[in-house]
Amino acid sequence: MTQLLANGTAVGGIAFVTANGFQLAAVSDIHYQETVTTRAPALGRDGVHGFSETIRVASIKGRFRDLTGSGLTKSAIQAWQGIQVVLECNGTAENGGSKVVSGSGMWTNEVGEVDTTEGVFDIEWNGPATLSVQNP
């Protein structure tokens, strides 16, 4: 269910994910992380010397339904490299009220085991560049 702020603006809800040209059946836990710099303390025996920075890779991940007849296998998804992954939140770009997150040159980082009770599995894609985040 979409959550609303007091002013009636949607802040969460519907999500559509397309990867390598396939629209996947998004179930839950859909997340994205833009490329950011993370900092860690640089500690010495005499105190704090400052910090070091490393890049955190861009990612899109979530839980998806394992649909019969989709033509997709876990091994095929795991083999994807250099693909485009698009996440549309709160509707679609056509009906407005959306945020579109797009990553190019992404690869499948991990495909989780299938939960056969619910018919779901997790996928995480990573990419070399910052994700494009648009509010159409």
The whole-number pLDDT of residue 2 equals 46
The pLDDT tens digits of the residues spanning 84-99 come to: 999 888 754 444 557 8
What are the residue ranges spanned by the domains of the chain? 3-134
Closest CA to 90 of 4, 12, 25: 12
Q: What is the pTM of this model?
A: 0.77
For residue range 30-46, list pLDDT tens digits in order: 888 888 889 999 999 99
CATH-assigned architecture of domain 3-134 = Beta Barrel (2.40)
Q: Is 2 helix (H, G, I), strand (E, B) or coil?
A: coil
DSSP β-bridge partners for residue 48: 43
